[in-house]
Amino acid sequence: MILAPRLNSELKRALAPLRRVLWPVLAISSVYNVLLLSGSFFMLLVYDDVLPSRSIPSLVSLLVMVALAYGFQAFLDVVRGRAMVQVGSLFMRGISDRVLDVLSRYELARGAMPNGTQIVRDVDTVRSCLSGPGPLAIVDLPWIAVYLLILSIFHWSIGLLALIGVAVLVALMLVNNRMTEPLALATMRSGARRLGLAESTLRNAETLKALGMARARQCEWHGAEAEFLRANDRFSAISSTLSGSTKAFRMLLQSATLALGAFLVIDGRATGGIIIAGSILSARALAPVEQVIANWKGMVSARQALDRLRNLFDAVPARVMPMGLERPTRELLVQGLAAGPPGSQKVSVLDLNFRLGAGDALAVVGRSGSGKTTLARVLCGVWKPLRGAIRLDGATLDQWSSDEIAGILGYVPQAIELFEGTIGQNIARFRPDADREAILAAAKSADCHDLIVRLEGGYDHAIGPHGSGLSAGQQQRIALARALFGDPFLLVLDEPNSNLDQDGERALGAAIRDARRRGAVVVVIAHRPSVIAHASHIMAMNNGRIERFETREQFEARITVPGSERDKAVQSRSVEGAREDRSGDLSGQASRKPAPAGANE
């Protein structure tokens, strides 16, 4: 069928309320459609019985009856309309968690999401179609047969004329579908592109202004808008032309029926009442088709929206909630790990194998693009391994539920993203059950308590969208507190000091030391050498592979690390030499720097 989408089990479940109300709505619609006949029968009786008999009591009682019928008809129309509004709301509620799930997982599992956030609008399109008059018009369609039958009982030629009218309208409807379906798709795509541009303009306002890109963006924006308007205008033009022609055709048919009735009366083959009743009834017979045409755009859009929802749900299947495990306490094991960006063929890290025990801290160093961030993302379960596994006390990350993982993992991503809300909420990862003590403890572990209380409102200080209202360094320290919230077993910090001043660096060092002391495993990606002083192991990456994995002692035997005993000794010997070591960037240093005298290589 033109409007029947292919559904998967999740959409069928979400649309189950539609199946549940189908029979009651069909029953109500049957009574409603019978009541719709009352107007034409009233006319028939007035012209054929009341006027010849000149009976006022008959006229009054007929009027009372038709008024009651209209009242009941209005009541039934409201009831079935409200039932459909409920179906729309239940559909939206039934699918809302899954939509958020797909939004949060699609890009991490499959790469960029097609049409951006169109999924949200798609749900709304389906909801408003279900709640609108379109589906009820379809329910009324079979009643056309009953109207045609009654018209044929009046006289076969009146029935035939109405049948031709219905056939013409259905043909128009099919032509309309053929012409508008690709346009509905084009409207959606250009609308999504326009919205994507609006979102990216909002996000990158600073860069656009500073680099003088406003004009270029304006051209792009106008292009997207013109494309959207073109598709939308054509769609609306076709729909309104059809809607207007339908209306005119219906009026013409009504007049033609009147004329035919008049001819039959003149010819002595019908009564005067039949002229009026036939004309009203033929208009009624066409009304459901007319309604379907009027709501065609919404129904085609809803069907396409359901197709897209099905594709997205199939692409990111719902997760089966794991039974859950105890919190890990012993080790992190990385076995034969290969990983790359989702949705691409690229392999960014390959053959990674290492083990860290409770209390270990690994500093990962290497040139840009060597795969450090990829490793951090896979360690946190943000990207899935292509091969191999990451195990905490023997179990892979997917064996814990996302709630449990929240207490096991702490992560400071390379690009910090704080959410709109208070600082306290951000540190507590927006957990509604977070207690004050845990928030304070996390802030103190990250040594940002003083920084927070100095801000207006302290822990209730409101952070704007994308962390606005805080400096980059402040955001990084709050992100560290957020990572430390709940004393996670595995702490993954991706360049956590890129925006930190000396105080911040000291606080970071203390946080890593504290985490190690309580038995956590810390993995810290570092470009600055200062972090190495707090690590128990150092791993150098090159081209996605491990180039060197060694303990800090082994590393220090080769290279002077700022803050180490060896550094202090070197400093006392040569201030100049030590300064060179301290200020250097660590990228690739472990492999490139020639081993100093005494290194055990």
Distance CA 201, CA 209 (A): 10
Instruction: Identify any residues that bridge with 354 across adjacent strands, giving them in sequence order.
Output: 334
Which residue, 121 or 528, is less far from ligand ATP as judged by CB? 528
* Shortest CB 584 distance to ligand ATP, Å: 15
Which residue, 261 or 366, is less far from ligand ATP as judged by CB? 366
Surface-to-core class of residue 526, CB atoms within 10 Å of its CB (0-12 exposed, 13-18 middle, 19+ buried): buried
Chain residues 254-283 in contact with ligand ATP, contact rule CB under 6 A: none
Q: What DSSP element (H or E) covers 421?
A: strand 421-422
Half-sphere exposure of 167 (CA within 13 A, CB side): 6
From candidates 341, 458, 519, 584, binder to ligand ATP by CB under 6 A = 341
Number of residues that bind ligand ATP (CB under 6 A): 13
**Using CB under 6 A, which of the segments 286-294, 343-351, 464-472, 482-490 binds ligand ATP?**
343-351
* Shortest CB 328 distance to ligand ATP, Å: 25
* Shortest CB 587 distance to ligand ATP, Å: 7
348 binds ligand ATP (CB under 6 A): yes
Cα three-residue angle 10-15-19, rounded to 5 degrees: 130
Name the H helices within 204-295: 205-210, 214-266, 272-294
Distance CA 489, CA 359 (A): 9
What number of other Cβ atoms are within 10 A of residue 313's Cβ? Answer: 22
Distance CA 369, CA 349 (A): 10
Which residue, 221 or 354, is less far from ligand ATP as judged by CB? 354
* Shortest CB 495 distance to ligand ATP, Å: 7
Distance CA 274, CA 46 (A): 11
* Shortest CB 366 distance to ligand ATP, Å: 6
Q: Which amino acid is present at 166?
A: V
Which residue, 162 or 500, is less far from ligand ATP as judged by CB? 500
Which residue, 250 or 537, is less far from ligand ATP as judged by CB? 537
* Shortest CB 549 distance to ligand ATP, Å: 16
Which residue, 196 or 577, is less far from ligand ATP as judged by CB? 196
* Shortest CB 494 distance to ligand ATP, Å: 7
* Shortest CB 535 distance to ligand ATP, Å: 17
**Using CB under 6 A, which of the segments 39-47, 58-66, 227-235, 341-349 binds ligand ATP?**
341-349
* Cα 396 → chain centroid: 27
Q: Measuring CA to CA, how many Å separate 71 from each of 40, 44, 57, 120?
A: 16, 20, 21, 39
Binding mask 359-398 for ligand ATP (x = CB under 6 A): -------x-xxxxxxx------------------------
Which residue, 341 or 473, is less far from ligand ATP as judged by CB? 341
* Cα 398 → chain centroid: 22
Binding mask 209-228 for ligand ATP (x = CB under 6 A): --------------------
* Shortest CB 404 distance to ligand ATP, Å: 27
Which residue, 435 or 585, is less far from ligand ATP as judged by CB? 585
* Shortest CB 383 distance to ligand ATP, Å: 9
| Strands, E assignment, 99-151 | none
Torsion of CA 489, 495, 498, 500, to 10 degrees: 10
Residue 586 φ/ψ region, left for φ over 0, alpha for ψ in the -120 to 50 degree band, beta for the rest: alpha
* Shortest CB 377 distance to ligand ATP, Å: 8
* Shortest CB 118 distance to ligand ATP, Å: 21
Phi first, then psi: what are they for 409, rounded to 5°? -115, 140
Which residue, 46 or 538, is less far from ligand ATP as judged by CB? 538
From candidates 55, 311, 344, 402, binder to ligand ATP by CB under 6 A = 344
Which residue, 350 or 427, is less far from ligand ATP as judged by CB? 350
346 binds ligand ATP (CB under 6 A): yes
DSSP per residue, 143-183 = HHHHHHHHHHHH-HHHHHHHHHHHHHHHHHHHHHHHHHHHH
Binding mask 398-437 for ligand ATP (x = CB under 6 A): ----------------x-----------------------
Task: Name the residue among 370, 391, 397 with its Cα closest to residue 526.
Answer: 370
543 binds ligand ATP (CB under 6 A): no
Distance CA 95, CA 387 (A): 32
* Shortest CB 384 distance to ligand ATP, Å: 14
Sequence-distant (≥ 6) Cβ neighbours of residue 44 within 8 angstroms: 273, 274, 276, 277
Place of tokens 């034409």: 40
496 binds ligand ATP (CB under 6 A): no
Which residue, 297 or 372, is less far from ligand ATP as judged by CB? 372
Which residue, 36 or 535, is less far from ligand ATP as judged by CB? 535
Which residue, 131 or 370, is less far from ligand ATP as judged by CB? 370
497 binds ligand ATP (CB under 6 A): no
Distance CA 95, CA 99 (A): 6
List of residues contacting ligand ATP (CB under 6 A)? 341, 344, 346, 348, 366, 368-374, 414
